[in-house]
Structure formats: structure tokens, C-alpha cells
């Protein structure tokens, strides 16, 4: 049955190109070319969404060869790329933006949500949320130096202070932001505790540019609920969408999109079907990671992916332990194939701790 979601076709993101209401979140160590390529296979035919990168440091980008920087690698077939930058200084931002547009960026996202010390030390990431005028200036200089739209991803206001958030976002809109993504947890909450969807709903009523909601989305039903409860233009999911990329297919089916190219039948739905699909995703990701990142880095990135995403499996810890024991990608692949030679179930919801 088709959903009755009213605003299921966000029309103003990427100049009207985007027509699908779910996008992956930028995540360090996870939102890389290998995961994007595997995930894109589950995007329904004709659906267009955003494809982020993990956060990229604008002070380093101008000096990097992006084809060799693991965080910035892309495949030539990738479109709708929205790389995310950390930054606060015009020369670095201008050089980074120019480079990223040549690389294929169709928009630039500014990170104002990262709470890690490294970002705070340089006064960017969520540190920008502590100074509204400064944050506004960062958006203004990015827009000035960019021929593509500029968006901002941020967190809930200090201690969840909504008036502060509202005024803060007003400033970003005046500075030329094209859309906002809100992850309504405070910096202190990091990624735990409940995301306050009410802040998404209230902010949506007050701003005239599109709003993407993020946080506490684990299933396709959560996507639909967030849209219905908040009227946000799009939903962004991080950990859960990384774990079950076929959520794109499930949602597409619900919204009446065609199957992803080359896929027939219905998307995985039961716990056993989802468990088996997760195994297939792992076995596709590993060789792709090896191809792009080389043997050593592929092992590290794969282990991190399994650590983050296996939490939806009742015995995810033993999968992670087996993957950790593998001394090379060949051994890891054997361990994964062995684990999924039995029936593996995947639960819809889990407690997200990291």
C-alpha cells in the first residue's frame, strides 16, 4: 500500500533534482565511496537523493590529491554528491570549495555538529554553534566562494534552548544557506539519548528553506513517522541506513517507486531476510574497500563498519569478534561467509550507544 506522506517529494533541494525523502548521513569512517556504491544499488529506479561524504577538513583539502584521500575518493558514476567540510577560515574554505566543485560536488555541506576535541580546538564543528555571528560569517564566505548550494548540518541548541536555535538558523538563512539538517541532540548528548523531534517540527514551521531531520531513525517506519510528525522535507539516517542500505528500497516500494535497477521481487522484510541481506552487503563491501583503500586500511574500515552496524544482530558481538580475529581480508571474508552460512536474524530496533 502506498503511503499518504504529504511531502514525500522534496522539490527544493538541489534545485528540485531530489525526489526521494531519505538520505545517508555524513559519518567519519563510514560514509565513503565503498558504502555509497553498495548503497546506491538499493536506490529505486528514478529516485534521486543526496550522497554525502564524511567530514573533510578544509585546512587539509587544498593540499590533498582527492583521488588518493580515502575520505574523498569517489567513483566516476557518482552524482548528487554533497561533500561535508569542517572549516571557519575563508582562504581554506574557498580553496576547498573550488576543488570539491571540480571533483563533482553538487552542493557543499558545512559541519556545525561535530563535538570531538579536534574540531573544537580549531573552533569549528559544533563550536560554531556557540557563536551565531561567527557561524553566519562562515556560511556567508562559503556561499560567496561557491557556485553550488551550501547547506549546514547542526545540532540542537545549547541545553536544547529552542529560541537560541531559531535565531541561530535565521542567521544562517540570511547568510545564504540553501537547506539545513538538524540532528536535535545537544553536544553533551553526543549520539546517545533521545533526539528531540519536536525541535525539527518547530523549526520547520519557522524557516522558509528546506529542513532535513535526523536522529533516532532505525527503520523505514521511523522515516515515515519522522516525516509525518515533523513535516521535514527529508529524513537523514546514519547508523541504521549504513546497516540496512535496503531501507532505500523498502521506502521506495512504500512510496510507489520502481524497484532498484536489476532488483526483482520485494525488498528484504523479515528478520531472516534482513539478516541474510546484511551478510550480502558485508561480502560486497569488503572487496570494494580493498580495491579503494588497500589491504590494511580496508581491514580497519571494515572492522569499524561491522562494529557500528552489527548491533542490530542478536549475536553481532561474535561476528565482530570473528572479523577482528581475521589477519587479512581473505580471512575476514571467510569468517563473514561462515557466520552467514547459518540463518542470521536482524532486529528492527536496538539501543544506539556509539
Ligand X SMILES: Cc1cc2nc3c(=O)[nH]c(=O)nc-3n(C[C@H](O)[C@H](O)[C@H](O)COP(=O)(O)O)c2cc1C
Binding site for ligand X (CB under 6 A): 25-30, 54-55, 84, 111, 113-114, 153, 183, 191, 214-215, 217, 237-240, 308, 352
CA dihedral in degrees (296, 311, 73, 175; nearest 10)?
Answer: -140
Residue 185: burial class (beta carbons within 10 Å; 0-12, 13-18, 19+): buried
Q: Quick one: 191 or 263, whose CB is closer to ligand X?
A: 191
Closest CA to 74 of 112, 101, 43, 47: 101
Strand duo 211-214 + 108-112: pairing: unpaired
Contact 109, 84 (CB under 8 A): yes
Q: Quick one: 37 or 156, whose CB is closer to ligand X?
A: 156
Give me the phi and psi of 153, to 5 degrees please.
-110, 125
Q: Quick one: 55 or 211, whose CB is closer to ligand X?
A: 55
- DSSP symbol at 160: G
Q: Quick one: 24 or 333, whose CB is closer to ligand X?
A: 24
Give me the residue label for grid cell 536522529: 215
For residue 211, the minimal CB distance to ligand X (Å) is 14
Q: Quick one: 235 or 332, whose CB is closer to ligand X?
A: 235
Closest CA to 90 of 140, 53, 153, 165: 140
For residue 342, the minimal CB distance to ligand X (Å) is 28
Q: Quick one: 18 or 156, whose CB is closer to ligand X?
A: 156
Q: Quick one: 84 or 333, whose CB is closer to ligand X?
A: 84
For residue 313, the minimal CB distance to ligand X (Å) is 17
For residue 111, the minimal CB distance to ligand X (Å) is 5
- Give the start-end residues of each E strand in the chain: 22-24, 51-57, 81-86, 108-112, 150-155, 179-183, 211-214, 234-237
For residue 1, the minimal CB distance to ligand X (Å) is 26
For residue 246, the minimal CB distance to ligand X (Å) is 16
Q: Quick one: 61 or 352, whose CB is closer to ligand X?
A: 352
C-alpha to C-alpha distance for 321 and 319, rounded to whole angstroms: 5
For residue 195, the minimal CB distance to ligand X (Å) is 7
Q: How is 47-86 classified by DSSP, letter by letter?
A: ----EEEEEEETTTGGGS-TTT-GGG---TT--SEEEEEE
Q: For the packed helices 220-230 and 247-255, what is the interaxial angle rounded to 10 degrees?
A: 60
For residue 104, the minimal CB distance to ligand X (Å) is 19
For residue 116, the minimal CB distance to ligand X (Å) is 9
Residue nearest to ligand X (CB): 238
- DSSP symbol at 5: -
Strand ordering across the sheet containing 51-57: 22-24, 234-237, 211-214, 179-183, 150-155, 108-112, 81-86, 51-57
- DSSP symbol at 122: T
Q: Quick one: 183 or 227, whose CB is closer to ligand X?
A: 183
Contact 151, 108 (CB under 8 A): yes
Amino acid at each position: 500500500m502506498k503511503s499518504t506522506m504529504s511531502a514525500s517529494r522534496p522539490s527544493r533541494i538541489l534545485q528540485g533534482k531530489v525526489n526521494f525523502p531519505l538520505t545517508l548521513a555524513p559519518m567519519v569512517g563510514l560514509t565513503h565511496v565503498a558504502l555509497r556504491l553498495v548503497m546506491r544499488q538499493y536506490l529505486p529506479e528514478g529516485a534521486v537523493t543526496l550522497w554525502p561524504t564524511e567530514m573533510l577538513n578544509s585546512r587539509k583539502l587544498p593540499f590533498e590529491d582527492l583521488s588518493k584521500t580515502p575520505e574523498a575518493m569517489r567513483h566516476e558514476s557518482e552524482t548528487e554528491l554533497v561533500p561535508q567540510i569542517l572549516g571557519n577560515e575563508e582562504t581554506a574554505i574557498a580553496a576547498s570549495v573550488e576543488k570539491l566543485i571540480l571533483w563533482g560536488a553538487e552542493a557543499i555541506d558545512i559541519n556545525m555538529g561535530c563535538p570531538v576535541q579536534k574540531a573544537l580546538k580549531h573552533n569549528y564543528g559544533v563550536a560554531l554553534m556557540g557563536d551565531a555571528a561567527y557561524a553566519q560569517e562562515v556560511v556567508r564566505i562559503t556561499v560567496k566562494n561557491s557556485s553550488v548550494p551550501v547547506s549546514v548540518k547542526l545540532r540542537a541548541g545549547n541545553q536544547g534552548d529552542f529560541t537560541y536555535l531559531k535565531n541561530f538558523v535565521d542567521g544562517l538563512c540570511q547568510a545564504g544557506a540553501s537547506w539545513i539538517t538538524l540532528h536535535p541532540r545537544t553536544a553533551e548528548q553526543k549520539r546517545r539519548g533521545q533526539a528531540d523531534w519536536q525541535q525539527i517540527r518547530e523549526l520547520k514551521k519557522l524557516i522558509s528553506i528546506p529542513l532535513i531531520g535526523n536522529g533516532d531513525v532505525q527503520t523505514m517506519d521511523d522515516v515515515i513517522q519522522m516525516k509525518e510528525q515533523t513535516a521535514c522535507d527529508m529524513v537523514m539516517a546514519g547508523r541504521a541506513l549504513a546497516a540496512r542500505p535496503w531501507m532505500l528500497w523498502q521506502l521506495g516500494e512504500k512510496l510507489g517507486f520502481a524497484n532498484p535497477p536489476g532488483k526483482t521481487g520485494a525488498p528484504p522484510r523479515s528478520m531472516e531476510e534482513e539478516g541474510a541481506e546484511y551478510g550480502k552487503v558485508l561480502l560486497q563491501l569488503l572487496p570494494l574497500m580493498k580495491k579503494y583503500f588497500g589491504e590494511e586500511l580496508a581491514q580497519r574500515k571494515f572492522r569499524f563498519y561491522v562494529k557500528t552496524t552489527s548491533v542490530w544482530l542478536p549475536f553481532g558481538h561474535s561476528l565482530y569478534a570473528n572479523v577482528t580475529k581475521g589477519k587479512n581480508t581473505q580471512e575476514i571474508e571467510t569468517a563473514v561467509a561462515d557466520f552467514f552460512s547459518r540463518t542470521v536474524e536482524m532486529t528492527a530496533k536496538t539501543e544506539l550507544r556509539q
